[in-house]
Each structure stands twice: as C-alpha cells, then as structure tokens.
Amino acid sequence: MGSQMSQVEGVHVVVVGGGFGGIAAAQDLKSRGLDFTLIDMRDAFHHNVAALRASVQPGFAKRTFIPYAETFGDSFVQGRVERVETDRQTVVLQGGREIQYSHLILCTGTDGPFPGKFNTVASYQTAVQAYEDFIKQVQAADSVLVVGGGSTGVEMAAEIKTEYPDKKVVLIHSRIGLADPELLSSVRQQAKEVLLEKGVELLLGQKVSNLSELQLNVTQKNMKVSTDKGETIETDLIICCTGLRVNAAAYTSGLGGSMTDSGALKVNQQLQVDGFSNVYAVGDCNNIDEPKMAYHAGLHAAVAVSNISNSLSGKELTSYQTGNITMLLAMGRDDGVGQFNGLKLPRCLVALGKSRDLLLWKSWREMKQKQP
C-alpha cells in the first residue's frame, strides 16, 4: 500500500471486475486517496478459492460472498461492462450508463463451470442459495464423478470424500499427472496419495467422451458416462472442473488488437496493456506466463496501482516479476499439499494454514468487514 495522496484533479481510476485483483486494486486506490470506481456485475465479491467447500458443507457459502457496497460505498457500481471506448476514455455498462476514466484497470478474470466459479449476475442471497441448493444434490448422490484433475478437480474430489466418506467418488483426468503442471512433481504425487488415502478412485489418462449429452450438477441415479478408452462408468452426479475461459466480453470491441487468441490482454512488465499507457490488466485476464492465481492477481494489483501513482508523480514505473511458485491445495478441511516459494511443505502445515479456513479471513480483513 502506498502513502496517502490528496485527490488529484482529473484523475479517476475505473476498476472493472471485483475479483481478487479488483478488490486489491480498489483497496489500494482507496488507501492512497485516489478517486476510483469499482464495477462488478454482482453485488458481492466471490472468494471462489472457498467455493468447493461451500459446495459440500451446509452453511458455509455465506462466508464466501462479501458485499462490495459496505466496503466501497458510492465508489462501487453494480453493472456489466459491455465495452471500453478507448478514444473517449469511457466504459459503457449494459443499459447505457457511461463512466469516464483517466486510468483503467481491467480485472475481469476467468469464467468456468459452477461450482468452482459463479460468474452469474445474482444477488448475494441468490448466490449463497445456489451453493446451498447444490449441496442437496451432492447429498442425494451415492456416487459422484469429478471431471478434470487439475487443482480444482483434485480439491473438489477431496472435499466431497472428506465431508461424505461413504460416497463413491471417481476423479477422471485426461493426463496421468494430477494438479497444476507448474507444481513440483513431488507435490503432485502427494496430491495423488492423499486422494487415494481418502478413498477417491482415479481414472487417469482418459476423457469423458459423451460429456455434452450429460446433465451436470444435478443428481440422477445411474447416469452412464463413456470414456474415450471404451470404459463405461455409472454415476449419480457429474461435476465438471475443466475449461476456464478468459472473461473478455468487456474489452473485446475496444481492445481487440491487444488480445491474445485466448482473450487475455497482452501486457508489458509494468502491466500496461499493449498500446495504452493508461490501461492496465491484472489477474487472470492478462497474458503473464505464470499459474493463474488469486495470489498473483493481488500482486499484479499492487504493481498497477503503484504505476498509476508513479505516473502521476513522474516517478519510474515498477515492473512485475513472477517469483518462485507458492501454491497450496486444500485436500478437504483436514489435509493439504503444496509448496512455498518453490519448496514442498508438510501436509499438516498446509492443512493448518489453508485448508481449515481457505484464507477467508484474509479477504474479510481486506474488505474490512466482519465474517458472519
């Protein structure tokens, strides 16, 4: 966080997207006394790192959404940004409302399947209820198939088996190695061991071949799932944990020339979008080559806000550097695997540091609100 600046005339920073990157940027701008507007399509920040626990443990979801207005007051605007007009330095919201910016921070993140992501326009109450309703589907199933063994799928399978040890849980993954490829191989191996210890069945090196014909997230007894290796699995509930896509809709028309094929914004080391010195991209929606993580989104936000502040006072801009990877996987509330600064951590330490609370305290503290 930087030092307090008095409001600078003509400066209005617009932050699009209130995920991990967006709330960090907004808090930093607030503490520096810089005029800003934070825009998100929902009325509450989603701590989606804890979304998988909210999918299995009744009463947990209300802790995973944090209302924006209580923290940011009139500096928060709820709405979906439809386009950015760089020539007029204006963002245009659905319905036609326009907000002008001197500097823009784009933090629109990624979208993906529920329950890992919840990027639907919904009120706090509706969002919480969606998770409580989903728990009933999990509870009604005797068997669950988790599709995709990246970090989200690994955590999902572990959460279900921890909360409901009597259910049959199968994790299918197209590759042999589980979790993020950027993790140390010893950490990935340990994730596999924990799943097996918990009783999760693994189908590795296989893909579901009829996924588009199957209903996700709804319990139906004995659905037949085929794999590309000719196996058939019967399951009551299918949860998909693959296929994150960059949320580029807000800026495709205005910044299409600065996008990669995946929709990510090309940025320089100062996190400025290619061709625009007053537009920054932070978090999952930029093209920095590193694991897409909430942790990194927060670090990007600090660099973007520092650089806005530095550019106003004529100082040199700061560069972003990816450090050694720190990544912690919660394997249910009682176990975890991970690495800190490139070094493998003991399971008990990850369980204590991350798995019990999923770092919810950090976001509630950042939003300066009391956890329910």
Residue ranges binding ligand FAD (CB under 6 A): 16-22, 39-42, 46, 48-49, 51-52, 80-81, 107-110, 116-117, 119, 152, 247, 249-250, 283-285, 292-295, 297
Nearer to ligand FAD, 111 or 201 (CB): 111
Q: How far is the CB of 94 from ligand FAD (least distance, A)?
A: 8
Nearer to ligand FAD, 7 or 120 (CB): 120
- Alpha-carbon dihedral sign for residues 117, 238, 351, 291: negative
Name 202's bridge partners. Answer: 171
Sheet of strand 81-85: strand arrangement? 81-85, 90-93, 98-100
What is the per-residue burial (b if ≥16 Cβ within 10 Å, else e) of 295-309? ebbbbbbbbbbbbbb
Nearer to ligand FAD, 8 or 292 (CB): 292
Nearer to ligand FAD, 17 or 149 (CB): 17
Nearer to ligand FAD, 52 or 237 (CB): 52
Residue 13 token pair: 């920073």
How many other C-beta atoms are found inside a 10 Å radius of the C-beta of residue 261? 5
Q: How far is the CB of 212 from ligand FAD (least distance, A)?
A: 21
Could you give phi then psi for residue 109, rounded to 5 degrees?
A: 65, -150
Q: How far is the CB of 299 from ligand FAD (least distance, A)?
A: 10
Q: How far is the CB of 121 from ligand FAD (least distance, A)?
A: 8
Nearer to ligand FAD, 170 or 281 (CB): 281
Q: How far is the CB of 116 from ligand FAD (least distance, A)?
A: 4
Nearest residue to ligand FAD, scored by beta-carbon proximity: 19
Alpha carbon separation from 4 to 90, 91, 301, 311 (Å, rounded): 26, 27, 17, 15
DSSP track, 302-361: HHHHHHHHHHHTTPPPP-----S--EEEE-STT-EEEEETTEE--HHHHIIIIITTTTHH
Residue with tokens 């990850």: 350
Q: How far is the CB of 275 from ligand FAD (least distance, A)?
A: 21
Nearer to ligand FAD, 57 or 152 (CB): 152
H-helix segments, the chain: 20-32, 51-54, 69-72, 124-140, 151-163, 185-198, 252-255, 294-312, 347-350, 360-366
Residue 102 token pair: 């001197």
Q: How far is the CB of 81 from ligand FAD (least distance, A)?
A: 4
Nearer to ligand FAD, 19 or 332 (CB): 19
Q: How far is the CB of 8 from ligand FAD (least distance, A)?
A: 25
